[in-house]
Amino acid sequence: MTRRRWLQELLSLPWVIALWTRRLIAGSRAASIGLMLAPAPATASDSPVADFEALVAFAEVLVDSRLFSPDTRRDLTEHLADSASVDPDRRARYVTTTRLLDRLAGARFSQLPLGERAALMARHRLNVRLLTAEESAGAISDDARAVRTQVLPDLIGACWRSPAGWSAVGYGAFPGRCSDLTRYTRPEP
Amino acid sequence: MDADVCIVGAGAAGGIMALELARRGVTVVVLESGPRHDFRQRWQYVREYVRRKNPWESRLPRQDNATFGGRVAYSLEGRRARGVGGSTLHWEGYALRFHVDDFQLQTLYGIAEDWPIRYADLEPYYARAESALGVAGTDDDPWAAPRSAPFPLPGFPFSHSDGAFAQACGKLGIAMHRLPQARNSVAYGGRAPCQACGTCHVCPTGAKATIDLTHIPAAEATGKVRVVTEATVLRLETDPAGTVTRAVYAHADRTERPLSARIFVLGAGGVENARLLLLSKSPRFPDGLANRSGLVGKRFMAQPSIDVIGRMAHNVYPYRVGFSTAMSQQFAAPRDRATRAAFYLEFLNSAGPKPDELAVSSGRTGDDLRQYVRDEFGKWLGIRIYCEHLPDPSNAVSLSARALDYFGNPGPHVVYRLGRYEQNALDEGKRVATKVLEAAGGTRLRVTSLSPAAHQIGTHRMGTDPKTSVVDPDLKAHDVDNLYLVGSGCFVTATASPPTLTIAALALRAAERIAARVAPAS
């Protein structure tokens, strides 16, 4: 990846956000209205997202429908820690997401089995990225909206940027992992 | 005197000059506004880069504050790097010589102005620059200017996707050839061969030629060169006779420190060179140092580029190498440039969305998402149209009335626009690229938005007439006998070729001239 490509990506981020916003606004009207969430009660998970466990557990359902490998967990956790350290807004959204998930679960979301997590997310439409017209008009809590419109694409993007994401498209080497120089001259096996 | 020569900026021009001067017995102090980026940290930089952070971002707050005018916002973010190595730290490594015609646009086509030197004047220095940087190339460009020596390194082989382009170009009568680059195709200069890490913006192996590796260590090893890092030059001061006596610089503590030398060289890039001259006003130079012509900062140029991409039915395996291997100069050299700019075609090895971009834009999750990305990734081919930019008096770098830098000085105000000349070429380039992609089987063709190059050109142009230029053919300021302005700011025209190899050649030439003045016996 070159400087120009990097610059283009940097400059295209607003376009991605704009596209995403349009998709959200144009979301399916047939879908049901999401749960209106009450203000969060104080729970044990009000502590900061120090270990990002809930977010990783959330991403496992979103991205893979299976448990992450230790390497993928590490890559995602690094992304979350890095993002939270430089972007206070993003950090606040991570806290909001963790609290929301734990509250809906009535326990630590990260400690639920994968199937229960998936069911909970489906029940509350937290695995659906597009908002319905009703949701766009306000029939959804601010917290749920932030999770679905901002945290969800953040987690998906981070996972697909990681080695696991490249591996899923058949690449053992990718931008950031060196390989045999002649590999680029032939198709992948 | 602190040194014979004080160089501002440790990038392509400054770093090369430092080594060349030291080899000729001249003592040099280099003042570099950025840090010394430790090569051992490159992998950390790579990790930041793949997360879309800029590891070369300036470290002081507001150090790059700027304002913009014109129809196209020319942001400096990501378009230059501070640090030992300068913008070579993140350059693409494309090392093209200019064409013979590029030096004579007025004579040949009645546009712009001729350079005061010709290709033949620079050719020996091009050869030396290629050797110093380690340029890999193959003598397969039908329009290449004459060479006195072969490329020092073998060219990189064409990529898998270049094969699709070659077939399409063959049908259309377009000659495709290799793209010369300052990147090790084999081990060279004590640096490793390229390992296709795919992050050329941050080369973790040192295969890409960067001045912090190719020149600065050798310069310092002579014992003649001292590099002072994180030292931002605030102004140059002159005596009543108009001779520069000292550079005033500051570290992060903002304490002003003077540095004296017999000769001063500005090699801080086309924007900073102009800004520093404009900041160095004095009663003798009320409009800025070396600016009696009024041309400092004027005729700013940066080549515009656009990409045309198309979807193929099959996987073309993009993103496996960070640079392009094929290009065509067919629309750059053998061309009537009276009304249309020159442009070249760069056949991209990486185009279209990456897996994360597909995933994020899909609106899908879980297994559905996984299948979608697997099906869609790798299908896009792309061609970049990289276009000449003519000098235009309305494009300029001046001092901003609104933006102040970390040290309280006005930042640059950059005005950038394109004219009909460039637009004609971009339109033609779009048509050509569209034909090539369609001939390759591409569908769903798209054109990306225009992106000005990260090259800042023309802000202190060279010439023989002090009324119409800022520096002479040796890059000495017309108005100040002990001041040299190097880098792409001295270019008379931008051409359609990236500037770095020409910057290097001109720096070698200027260093010879300076050394002859400072140490004639050496």
Smallest CA–CA distance, residue B183 to chain A, in Å, is 12
Tokens standing for residue B225: 């060169």
Q: How many CA atoms lie within 13 A of B227 on its CB side?
A: 32
Q: Do the chains contact at A161 and B78, CB–CB below 8 Å?
A: no
What residues of B are in contact with residue A159 (Cβ under 8 Å)? 356, 359
Cα angle: B510, vertex B512, B516; to 5 degrees: 120
How far, in Å, CA of B136 to CA of B183, rounded?
Answer: 6
- Residue B471, strand partner residues: B462, B477
Q: Which of A3, A16, A176 sits opposite B198 (nearest CB)?
A: A176
CB B281 within 8 A of CB B375: no
DSSP B369: H
Query: What per-residue confidence (pLDDT) applies to A135?
Result: 87
Identify any residues that bridge with B248 across adjacent strands, giving them in sequence order.
Answer: B235, B258
Amino acid at B24: R
Instruction: Tell me the pLDDT of chain A averaged across its residues.
Output: 79
Query: Has residue B205 got a pLDDT over 70?
Result: yes
Instruction: Evaluate if residue B215 carries a pLDDT over 70.
Output: yes
Q: Touching check for A123 and chain B: CB below 8 Å? A: no
pLDDT the model gives residue A34: 27
Report whether B124 contacts B118 (CB < 8 A): no
CB-based contact A181 B204, cutoff 8 Å: no
How far apart are the C-alpha atoms of B146 and B125, rounded to whole Å?
13
Widest distance between CA atoms in chain B:
76
Reduced to 3 states (helix: H, G, I; strand: E, B; else coil), residue B100 is helix
HSE toward the beta carbon, residue B348, CA cutoff 13 A = 26
CA dist., res. B208 & res. B210, Å (int): 6
Helix (H) or strand (E) holding B401: strand B396-404
Higher pLDDT, B19 or A24: B19
Tell me, yes or no, if A29 comes closer than 8 A to chain B by beta carbon: no
Give the predicted TM-score (pTM) of the model.
0.91
pLDDT tier for residue A18 given thresholds of 50, 70 and 90: very low
Taking an 8 Å cut-off on Cβ atoms, the answer to whether A177 and B198 are in contact is yes
Please give the residue of chain A at the shortest CA–CA distance from B450: A8
Q: What is the CATH number of the domain that holds B380?
A: 3.50.50.60
Q: Does A181 touch chain B (CB under 8 A)?
A: yes
> Which positions in chain A touch B324 (Cβ < 8 Å)?
2
User: Would you state the pLDDT for residue B1?
Assistant: 83
Beta bridge partners, B469, equal none
pLDDT bucket at B497, cuts 50 / 70 / 90: very high
Distance from CA of A42 to the nearest CA of B (A): 30
Helix (H, G, I), strand (E, B) or coil at B232: strand
* pLDDT score for A4: 61
Q: State the alpha helices, DSSP H only, in B363-499.
A: 366-376, 420-439
* B467: its two tokens: 């009324």
The confidence band for B449, taking pLDDT boundaries of 50, 70 and 90, is: confident
Cβ contact A127–B47 (<8 Å)? no
Residues of B in contact with A63 (CB under 8 A): 359, 365-366, 369-370
Cβ atoms within 10 Å, residue B457: 28
- Counted across chains A and B, CB pairs separated by less than 8 A come out at 183
Structure tokens at B175: 């000659």
DSSP labels for A30-66? Answer: SSPPPPPPPPPPP-GGGS--SS-HHHHHHHIIIIISS
Instruction: Find the CB nearest B361 among A1, A19, A177.
Output: A19
Q: Which of A2, A129, A187 sits opposite B365 (nearest CB)?
A: A129
What is residue B265's predicted lDDT score, i.e. its pLDDT? 98
The closest alpha carbon to B405, from B141, B4, B8, B33, belongs to B33
The partner residues of B397 in beta bridges, in order of sequence, read B414
- The C-alpha of A141 sits at a distance from chain B's nearest C-alpha, in angstroms, of 20
Rounded mean pLDDT, B306-319: 97
Q: Which residues contact B280 (CB under 8 A, 6 or more apart)?
A: B235, B236, B237, B238, B288, B289
pLDDT in tens, A86-144: 899 999 999 999 999 999 999 999 999 999 999 999 999 999 988 988 888 888 899 99
In this structure, what token pair is assigned to residue B399?
């001092």
**Of A5, A20, A176, which has the smallest distance from its Cβ to B197's Cβ?**
A176
B474 half-sphere exposure, CB direction, 13 A CA radius: 15
Domain count, chain B: 1
B52 pLDDT exceeds 90?
Answer: no
Q: How far is A18 from chain B (nearest CA, A)?
A: 10
Question: C-alpha distances in angstroms, B193 versus A170, B186, B217, B375?
Answer: 25, 5, 19, 34
Instruction: Reply yes or no on whether the pLDDT at B403 is more than 70.
Output: yes
How far lies A183's CA from each of B16, B203, B308, in Å?
34, 18, 25
Calculate mean pLDDT across residues B360-376: 92
Interface test with chain A among B90, B178, B309, B320, by most A beta carbons within 10 Å: B320
Task: Residue A67: name the closest of A99, A20, A115, A107 by CA.
Answer: A115
For residue A62, which residues of chain B lie inside 8 Å, CB to CB?
365-366, 369
Q: A171 vs B320: CB contact, 8 Å cut-off?
A: yes
Question: Nearest CA to CA, how far is A60 from chain B (Å)?
Answer: 9
Chain A residues close to B359, C-beta within 8 Å: 63, 156-157, 159-160, 165
Mean predicted confidence (pLDDT) in B153-165: 98
Give chain A's end-to-end CA distance (angstroms, integer).
22
B335 by DSSP, 3-state: which? coil
What's residue A3's pLDDT?
Answer: 61
The Cα B91–Cα A33 span in angstroms is 50
- Domain assignment of residue B80, given as a range: 3-518
Q: Tell me the sheet residues that pair with B452.
A: B304
Considering only the beta carbons, identify the residue of A130, A177, A180 that sits closest to B363. Answer: A130
Q: Once rounded to an integer, what is the mean pLDDT over residues A43-60?
A: 71
- Pick from B267, B273, B278, B251: nearest CA to B63: B251
What's residue A50's pLDDT?
52
Structure-derived torsion over alpha carbons of residues B299, B305, B306, B309, reported in degrees to the nearest 10: 180
Average pLDDT over residues B53-76: 93
pLDDT at position A45 over 70: no
* Strand B451-452 with B304-311, pairing: antiparallel
Rounded to an integer, what distance in angstroms lies between the CA atom of residue B490 and that of residue B506? 9
* CA distance linking residue A142 with residue A136, whole number of Å: 11
Residues from chain A that touch B306, judged by Cβ atoms under 8 A, are none
Q: Which of A147, A10, A126 is nearest to B76 (CA)?
A: A10
Longest dimension (CA), chain A: 58
Question: What is the rounded average pLDDT of the residues B163-187?
Answer: 98
In this complex, do B319 and A158 lie within 8 Å of one another by their Cβ atoms?
no
Using 50, 70 and 90 to split pLDDT, how confident is the model at A49? very low
Contact A153 B373 (CB under 8 A): no
The whole-angstrom distance between A72's CA and the closest CA on chain B is 14
Helices A3-25, B355-362: crossing angle, 10 deg rounding: 10
Lowest mean pLDDT segment, chosen from A23-27, B260-264, B438-442, B461-465: A23-27
Q: What pLDDT, on the 0 to 100 scale, is given for residue A1?
A: 57
Output the pLDDT for position A29: 29
DSSP string, A125-152: TTT--SPPHHHHTT-S-HHHHHIIIIIH
Give which of B72, B319, B380, B448 to mutate to test A binding, by max A Cβ within 10 Å: B319
Percent of chain B with pLDDT over 90: 95
Residue B388, number of CB atoms within 10 A of its CB:
26
